[in-house]
Amino acid sequence: MTHRMSCRPPLKVLAWLVGLLCLPAAADIAHACTCDSISPAQGFARTQYVFIGKVLEVKDHTWTVDVDRVWKGADRLAARVRLLDVYKDMDCEFYFETGRAYLFFAIVAKSSRYVFYQPEVCNWTSALRSKRVAGPHGEVWLEDLIVQNYGPGEPPRAEDPWKRLEDHDRDDRD
């Protein structure tokens, strides 16, 4: 057996191990949510609601959010909303942290007596101070660009339909 022949098996094993280690990364890329690039202005135009809110509670990809400022849809948003992730267990599912504030680009996910909103996939929903974008005078935080382009926003104005449910539950327990 020559020196050359004794080196081949370890090289094959090494190549196999490197290939095995690369598989998870390739699998994530192959199954990631793919989106066309859009500008913040395009994202704003195509969505129903744009607002900043802080996540209060997380339950099975449903989030309760206290709404602070609204740039689009203030007359239909309450001070507290429920967001539903219709992409749960799919490549485009969302993850929001309790106690963290986000800029949401959302649409109505389910409307009945109690409305659920859905963060839009392939739009600009993101944690505050996490995305920098091109502004008229250089890069700015996404939420600062929204303020520059659409003003300071306003508080939500709609009544919270969930509050009636909570009040009703409380009355039934008394």
pLDDT (tens digit per residue) in 85-94: 876 666 788 8
Tell me the whole-structure pTM to 2 decimals.
0.74
Beta bridge partners of 64: 57, 82
Residue 4 — pLDDT band, cuts 50, 70, 90?
A: very low
User: With pLDDT > 70 as the criterion, what percentage of the chain qualifies?
Assistant: 71
Cβ atoms < 10 Å from Cβ of 150: 13
- Among candidates 103, 105, 62, 65, which has minimal Cα distance to 84? 62
Say whether pLDDT at 1 is over 60. no
User: With pLDDT > 90 as the criterion, what percentage of the chain qualifies?
Assistant: 54
Express each pLDDT in 128-146 by its tens digit.
999 999 998 899 999 999 9
Q: Output phi, psi for 125, to 5 deg.
A: -55, 125
Express each pLDDT in 25-40 by its tens digit.
333 323 367 889 999 9
Whole-number pLDDT of residue 32: 60
For the chain, what is the mean pLDDT? Answer: 80
CA distance 59 to 65: 12
Q: Output phi, psi for 106, to 5 deg.
A: -135, 165
Say whether pLDDT at 82 is over 70. yes
CA distance 25 to 170: 49
